[in-house]
Chains A and B, each alone.
Chain A
Amino acid sequence: MNQIGRQTVRWLGFGVSGSLTKTLAHFFPSSGNVTAPYPAQCKLSVFAESIGTKSVLLDGARFSQPDGVRLDVAFPALEQEKVALAGIIVELVSSQPRIDISHSACVIEFSSKGHASKYRPLKLGNEPSSGSVPAIMDAYTVTSLVVVNGTEKPISVPLGFIDWKERREPRIISIQSEDIPPLGVRDIELNEGVFADCAPLESSHGLVRIAPLVLRSSLPEGAACYVIHRDALTRRPVSIFSLESGEKSEPEKIQEEAGRSGGL
């Protein structure tokens, strides 16, 4: 998964498959200021331990025109093999040699009866973004994690949370989890111990416990970790964020530069 250039962009995410929830992959080939509808190629891949990696090439993608596909339609094997969680790789390739496609975008959607949730999957090849993502526990929200290993080797997940009980001396406490096998995708429940030492914060909607999650070291290229905030009652995902570790991402650099110049 290393060949990332201006003519190719790739995202790594995950999808769920089942009778109640369908996953859709939406993509938007874009070159920024070029509005001509040049053709683009979209290669969609899914992977899981039980099915290996499967790919399809989607016809008809064009610059500046959003499009999408249902995963169960593109990959009937997901339902036949009863794959509950699968990794997804969306790859867009520009057939125009001088056109930069790096402004393209991708959204993964989970659609169920009467509800839909969406997230932007991790863009591969970008500098990872540093920082923490809050795990939340209150009357509305519970938090879990999904780890996606699209590599050919098992990975351990360097998960931790910032313990701020000792004020002025924050420590990162490791969260133990099993190794993720090659092509494995795992849903990891956060046990209540993570929140045990979090002082509850008061709000008009009740007490909220927040544990800032971090990766103690970077995951290998081709692996990703997502923080899932779920509705406490229905367990439906309502917001999903990728957890990264390392240097600043390109969007952060852009915002930072624009911020200095008085814009963004």
Chain B
Amino acid sequence: MQGSQAQTLETKVLHLWVGSFPFIDSFLIISPDPGCESPSSVSVRCFDPDGAFANEFSINIEPGAPGLIEIEPLLGSIKLEGGMKHAHLEIECPIGVQVLTRLVSREGAVLLGEPSVIDEHRSAFFPVQVLNEHSSMLCIVNAGDETSNLKCRLFLGSRTPDISLSIPARGSRIISLEAEFSEYLQAERGKIQQVYTRLGTRGGAPLTVQLFECFVGASGGDLFSAVS
């Protein structure tokens, strides 16, 4: 990840969620544009869960060279929200470059792709299986400069309870499905409950969302799964 003269290329902007203390460590994996033969620049701005600017940095990547960036040292003194240190990364990079988030725990790792986008024209859905020793988190990022109101509806047989949540401009939130819908999601030992979530917003800034699931591994640590 060295290099001096980054080529000016057509760029895209990504809005990624990253988590940290106390459960996981987050890394950015930068996978290069196969067609690019000159260094390219990736710039990252970091916002805390309430949308306050926290940090920024940029890197030049050599053509063809992948990059690995550990996020925790760059989060600085970002406060905990929802019992977890997490943040919104706004990333500008050339279109052909892939930037993915890797979450690592003591016992496992998972790679998150580009998140689903929610706005007034698009909603997102995630299937979730409710079982013992399992937790599901929706990781939400507000990509814009105004507050956005998220509506999360659960589909559980014929029941469809919902919650609403305000996501501050540039901020991020995590929704624990088991906690928010505890009245409905009662895991019974040995039984699997299939539910769905549908997420939408009415006006406000666009949001990005990813589902992050945590299972208990063979030696008691965390095993992850994720879908964007």
Spell out B's residues near A (CB within 8 Å).
10-15, 25, 27, 29, 31-35, 37, 62-68, 70, 72, 92, 95-98, 100, 102, 104, 108-114, 116-117, 120-127, 129, 131, 133-134, 143-145, 155, 192, 194, 196-198, 205-206, 208, 211, 213, 215-216, 218, 223-228
Q: Is the CB of B196 within 8 A of A26?
A: yes
Bound state CA distance, A236 and B117, in angstroms? Answer: 28
Q: For the complex, is A172 an interface residue (Cβ under 8 Å from B)?
A: yes
Q: Is the CB of B96 within 8 A of A130?
A: yes
B205 to chain A, nearest CB (A): 7
Bound state CA distance, A94 and B114, in angstroms? Answer: 27
Q: Is the CB of A28 within 8 A of B100?
A: no
Given A131-B34, A136-B111, A203-B68, A264 contacting B15 (CB threshold 8 A)? yes
Bound state CA distance, A174 and B11, in angstroms? Answer: 28
Contacting residues of chain A (194-227) with chain B, CB-CB under 8 angstroms? 198, 201, 203-205, 208, 210-212, 214
19 pairs, CB–CB < 8 Å, chain A vs chain B: A26-B125, A30-B122, A30-B125, A109-B127, A109-B129, A115-B225, A120-B113, A130-B34, A133-B98, A134-B111, A168-B37, A205-B109, A234-B223, A239-B113, A239-B226, A255-B12, A256-B12, A263-B143, A263-B144
Q: Is the CB of A132 within 8 A of B122?
A: no
With CB as the reference atom, state the residue of chain A lying closest to B14.
A255
Residues of A contacting B143 in the complex (Cβ-Cβ under 8 angstroms) = 258, 263-264
Partner of B66, one of A103, A134, A236: A134
Spell out A's residues near B (CB within 8 Å).
24, 26, 28, 30, 32-33, 64-68, 103, 105, 107, 109, 111, 114-120, 130-134, 136, 138, 140-141, 162-164, 167-172, 198, 201, 203-205, 208, 210-212, 214, 229, 231, 233-234, 236, 238-239, 241, 248, 251-252, 254-256, 258-259, 262-264
Bound state CA distance, A136 and B101, in angstroms? Answer: 13
Pick the most buried of B11, B63, B205: most chain A CB atoms within 10 A of its CB. B63
Bound state CA distance, A252 and B93, in angstroms? Answer: 12
Residues of A contacting B113 in the complex (Cβ-Cβ under 8 angstroms) = 120, 239, 241
Q: Is the CB of B224 within 8 A of A238?
A: yes
Pick the most buried of B98, B121, B125: most chain A CB atoms within 10 A of its CB. B125
Q: Is the CB of B31 within 8 A of A64?
A: no
Residues of B contacting A67 in the complex (Cβ-Cβ under 8 angstroms) = 196
Q: Is the CB of A66 within 8 A of B198?
A: yes
Residues of A contacting B35 in the complex (Cβ-Cβ under 8 angstroms) = 130
Bound state CA distance, A171 and B37, in angstroms? Answer: 10
Bound state CA distance, A198 and B67, in angstroms? Answer: 12
Residues of B contacting A231 in the complex (Cβ-Cβ under 8 angstroms) = 108, 223
